[in-house]
Amino acid sequence: MLVTGGAGYIGAHTAKALHEQGYFPVVFDDLSLGFREAARWGAFVQGDIRDTRALAEVIEAHAVKTVVHFAGLIEVGRSVARPDLFWDINVAGTISLLAAMRGRGADRLVFSSSAAVYGQGGRGPLDPIPETAPKAPASPYGDTKLACEWMIQAECRAYGLSAVALRYFNAAGADPSGEIGEAHEPETHLIPLAIAAGLGRGRPLTIFGDDFDTPDGTCLRDYIHVSDLAEAHIAALKVELPPGAFEAVNVGAGQGRSVREVVAAVSRALDRPAPHVIGARRPGDPPSLVADPSHARSLLGWSAKRSSLDQIVADALRWETKPTYGAGLRAGLAGHSPRTPA
Ligand SMILES: NC(=O)c1ccc[n+]([C@@H]2O[C@H](COP(=O)([O-])OP(=O)(O)OC[C@H]3O[C@@H](n4cnc5c(N)ncnc54)[C@H](O)[C@@H]3O)[C@@H](O)[C@H]2O)c1
């Protein structure tokens, strides 16, 4: 099992889950944003996904049948400033991976897509989003994810690959063991930032807008525990699909949580207030991005198990107070929140 980007946040949690279920993950990561310490299950190969030959060698050497493809750039704001980089790594990187898989017996792909393909959300502003909702990414990052989906779908039709694109909503939390967790540079995710503010690291959290048309005025997002996400990958690589099939599947808990609810959960877990200030809305932030996860249930037999807000925050807090890598990043966290899903 090849896991590109397996030294990153979601990839490491998935590699661990794969290993626990008897698979042998071969992590392929250039460590530009990931951590060698996070890739501790199976084998590790350092390399760039744009290097087709290096990928092909790994696929042949390990007789890889299935690829789980996480590697890429994720920060929405940076994609606006550097679309060239995002198209190169995310799209050209996926072209390179498909070329390396083709003709080498690797005929199942699970791809990290994103709710960012939906842009502003579903039919009504607060409605859950089904996979059939219009695709209208609001950033170059979202464009690259949608472009990859199209490319993968065409690859399936042309060459008999079968693939599942998992459209994650807001990945959150950490492995309950505390041995791996979230470490992004820069960190733009709400829960680590709220915890950092509560622990007195850096500035108070900024809540971007409290005048949305939502129950408490702050944005609603669908937080999905990273361990639940890992399980969704295992379900996606096991599901029976005929050659040529392509499926896009939302991976969310199906429940919208407001920024204020997250801040309250963090304050509860810390038993002290998480300092925050109200800032202006950010351009393009939709009031609500919540999954309709029914396709994941019917196709994959998967649903979220560990994604209550209190569980997510408890697991994130265990990691944030004692990270085993990326501690330098965690020390200087400052206030942002929440962004649209990566
Ligand atoms: N975190 C989220 O909330 C979220 C939401 C939706 C989708 N996603 C998608 O999930 C995937 C993983 O996200 P994450 O949060 O784990 O990110 P991450 O930054 O923690 O992990 C990405 C990994 O890819 C590696 N990488 C980057 N460029 C590479 C290259 N050219 N060659 C080889 N490796 C490379 C990095 O070193 C890193 O280990 C991404 O594709 C992201 O777009 C994430």
100: domain CATH number is 3.40.50.720
Distance 70 CA to ligand 1 centre (A): 5
Q: Is 9 a catalytic residue?
A: no
CA distance 297 to 75: 29
Is the domain of 207 the same as that of 228? no
Q: What is the CATH number of the domain that holds 314?
A: 3.90.25.10
Q: Which residues contact 86 (CB under 8 A, 6 or more apart)?
A: 73, 78, 79, 140, 141, 144
- Count structural domains, the chain: 2
Apex 163 CA angle, 69 and 25, nearest 5: 40
Q: Which domain holds residue 41?
A: 2-171+224-251
Contact 214, 245 (CB under 8 A): no
Residue 62 lies in a domain: yes
3-class DSSP assignment, residue 339: coil
Residue 5 beta carbon below 6 angstroms from any ligand 1 atom: yes
Q: Confirm or reject: Cβ of 9 under 6 Å from ligand 1.
A: yes
The ligand 1 atom nearest the CA atom of 168:
6
Predicted TM-score of the model (pTM): 0.95
Q: Note whether 66 and 207 are same-domain residues.
A: no
Query: Quick one: 211 and 134 in the same domain?
Result: no
Whether residues 262 and 209 share a domain: the answer is yes
**Rounded distance between C-alpha atoms, residue 272 and residue 251, angstroms:** 32
For residue 10, which atom of ligand 1 is closest to its CA? 16
Task: Tell me: do 216 and 146 sit in the same domain.
Answer: no
Cβ(168) to ligand 1 under 6 A? yes
Is the residue at 156 inside a domain?
Answer: yes
Angstrom distance (rounded) from CA 191 to CA 116:
19
Are both 231 and 88 inside the same structural domain?
Answer: yes
Q: How far is the CA of 340 from the centre of ligand 1 (A)?
A: 15
* Set 23, 118, 141, 223: catalytic member: 141
Per-residue pLDDT of the chain (342 residues; tens, 9 = 90+): 999 999 999 999 999 999 999 999 999 999 999 999 999 999 999 999 999 999 999 999 999 999 999 999 999 889 999 999 999 999 999 999 999 999 999 999 999 999 999 998 767 778 899 999 999 999 999 999 999 999 999 999 999 999 999 999 999 999 999 999 999 888 889 999 999 999 998 789 999 999 999 999 999 999 999 999 999 999 999 999 999 999 999 999 999 999 999 999 999 999 999 999 999 998 878 899 999 999 999 999 999 999 999 999 999 999 999 999 987 666 655 444 444 455
SS3 at position 144: helix
- Closest alpha carbon to 293 in 246, 254, 239, 235: 254
